């Protein structure tokens, strides 16, 4: 257990969190204080005060390796997830974007500076599922962040060019000797086989006159 703690950053105890929270709430401006007095935020404040996450630290620390880069404080991530469901948000990405621009929410979560990345949330959820639920019931990869679909290369709406055989194909000729209408993309053959070119027939008429 002690070795596993090397992979995690030192967690803030619940007593230290309450002390920092009271200090941060005293420094809020009037607009944030007004929001804090609303029913939704007062209930959220009551939850983060009442829920002690210290017993969860040994459980979460056992899910991490003893080697590698130290992970984030699990109490901050868990408290953030509790508030996410409290405010009715089901998307971690949207909740993360909301935290970045809301000072009051960051204060209730316990963040003092930068918030954790979105992948940190998915990583913790993945480890908790591996610990609590058998892999045969719900695979852990179901909780990973969905990958973005790659767009197909090439210009959209571009039609393929006609082949050389279709382009150079001669237009059919009816009995009168005039070429039939061609399809789109085909060249009109003005000199069908077996008939003199138009300019030659005109020259013959001029000489006869």
Q: In the prediction, which pLDDT does 206 show?
A: 47
Separation CA 32–CA 105 (nearest Å)? 10
Q: In the prediction, which pLDDT does 5 show?
A: 41
Neighbours of 69 (CB within 10 A): 6
Q: Which residue has the higher pLDDT, 123 or 71?
A: 123
Please give the structure tokens belonging to residue 112. 């003092």
| 148-174 pLDDT, tens digit each | 677 666 666 565 555 445 445 554 555
The model's confidence at residue 72, banded by pLDDT at 50, 70 and 90, is: confident
pLDDT (average), residues 61-85? 83
Q: In the prediction, which pLDDT does 204 show?
A: 47
Please give the structure tokens belonging to residue 161. 């060019």
| Whether the Cβ atoms of residue 89 and residue 27 lie closer than 8 Å to each other | no
| Whether the Cβ atoms of residue 107 and residue 25 lie closer than 8 Å to each other | yes
Least confident of 19-23, 52-56, 95-99, 202-206: 202-206
Q: In the prediction, which pLDDT does 62 show?
A: 80
The model's confidence at residue 108, banded by pLDDT at 50, 70 and 90, is: very high
| 170-198 pLDDT, tens digit each | 545 555 555 555 555 555 555 555 555 55
Global pTM value: 0.59
| Whether the Cβ atoms of residue 72 and residue 121 lie closer than 8 Å to each other | no
Separation CA 182–CA 67 (nearest Å)? 73
- What torsion do the CA atoms of 63, 67, 69, 73 make, to the nearest 10 degrees? 30
Q: In the prediction, which pLDDT does 106 show?
A: 93
| 110-138 pLDDT, tens digit each | 998 888 889 889 888 888 877 776 655 55
pLDDT (average), residues 49-68? 83
Q: In the prediction, which pLDDT does 3 show?
A: 40
Mean residue pLDDT of the chain comes to: 75
């Amino acid at each position: 257990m002690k070795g596993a703690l090397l992979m995690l950053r030192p967690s803030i105890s619940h007593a230290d969190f309450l002390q920092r929270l009271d200090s941060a709430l005293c420094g809020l401006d009037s607009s944030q204080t007004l929001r804090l007095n609303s029913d939704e935020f007062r209930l959220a404040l009551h939850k983060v005060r009442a829920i002690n996450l210290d017993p969860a630290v040994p459980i979460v620390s056992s899910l991490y390796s003893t080697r590698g880069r130290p992970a984030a404080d699990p109490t901050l991530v868990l408290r953030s997830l509790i508030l996410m469901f409290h405010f009715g948000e089901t998307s971690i990405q949207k909740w993360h974007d909301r935290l970045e621009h809301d000072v009051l929410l960051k204060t209730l979560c316990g963040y003092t500076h930068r918030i954790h990345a979105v992948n940190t949330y998915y990583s913790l959820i993945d480890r908790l599922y591996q610990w609590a639920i058998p892999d045969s019931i719900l695979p852990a990869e179901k909780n990973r962040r969905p990958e973005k679909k790659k767009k197909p290369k090439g210009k959209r709406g571009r039609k393929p060019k006609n082949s050389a055989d279709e382009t150079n194909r001669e237009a059919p000729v009816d009995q009168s000797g005039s070429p039939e209408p061609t399809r789109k993309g085909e060249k009109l053959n003005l000199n069908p086989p077996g008939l003199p070119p138009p300019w030659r027939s005109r020259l013959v008429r001029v000489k006869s006159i």
